[in-house]
Structure 1
């Protein structure tokens, strides 16, 4: 029985570590489309293993003075993918926005701060929000965060308001 338990723990560890993948290939649908000319853009994609990341995210939010209400929203997140793009263009960002509009994403908020634009888009089915895409556009690079989970409109509003207040 002890051997079976050790084998199970070994597979669980390998599976957990394997899910933390950093790659030079895009991990989001629009960017993995081979028909688009990205004109020398350099991609770095990360699939975040939530089992390991949630405690660190909660700790960082507490240290930043976030309310427990916002911290509790982390429980509703089921998957996070991050994609950074160096040498991205405004044209690519505009084409990405068109792609999201064509795929039923709604623009919920744009926050401008110190020359950076943070855009939040959601895909809503009735009252349930299953996907939230956050785009950070600075002069040097683009960062895309794809957050999957089970959210309500109130949850997303709390997140946007907490960021806007700071």
Structure 2
């Protein structure tokens, strides 16, 4: 019985760590379904294993002095995908914007800081926000973050206000 338990634990651990692997292929739908050729762009993509990441994120936020309201938002996250792009072009941002508009994402905030733009868009179903897309762009580097969970408009507003206060 103990051997079976250890085998199960080993398989579970391998499956959880498998999502930590960084890929050179894009993991965002708007790039995979794009008609544009993104030659010269270098991608790094990964899915964040939320079960493993939540404790580390909460600890880091506490160390940075974030409010408990912001830290409690982490509990509502169910999935995170991150994609970074080096040597990205303006066409990629245009394609991304078109993709979000076609898929009913609403723009909630654009924050400009030190030459970087942070854009937050959400997809809302009634009172619940199921999907939040965050984009950070500066010159030729782009970061796309796809956050899924069950958020309210108040949750997103608190997150945006916390970001703009810093």
TM-score by length of 1: 0.97
User: Who is 2:17 aligned against?
Assistant: 17
**Residues 24, 43 of structure 2: 8 Å contact kept:** yes
User: Who is 1:118 aligned against?
Assistant: 118
**Residues 21, 48 of structure 1: 8 Å contact kept:** no
Secondary structure at the aligned position of 2:8 is classed as helix
**2: distance between equivalents of 1:68 and 1:125?**
26
Unaligned runs of 5+ residues in structure 2 are: none
**2: distance between equivalents of 1:23 and 1:36?**
20
Matched, 1:52 2:87: no
**Residues 25, 43 of structure 1: 8 Å contact kept:** yes
Unaligned runs of 5+ residues in structure 1 are: none
TM-score by length of 2: 0.97
Matched, 1:165 2:131: no
The alpha-carbon deviation at position 21 of structure 1 amounts to: 2.2
Runs of 4+ with >3 A deviation? none
RMSD: 1.0
Secondary structure at the aligned position of 1:22 is classed as coil
**2: distance between equivalents of 1:33 and 1:84?**
17
Secondary structure at the aligned position of 1:62 is classed as helix
**Residues 25, 32 of structure 1: 8 Å contact kept:** no
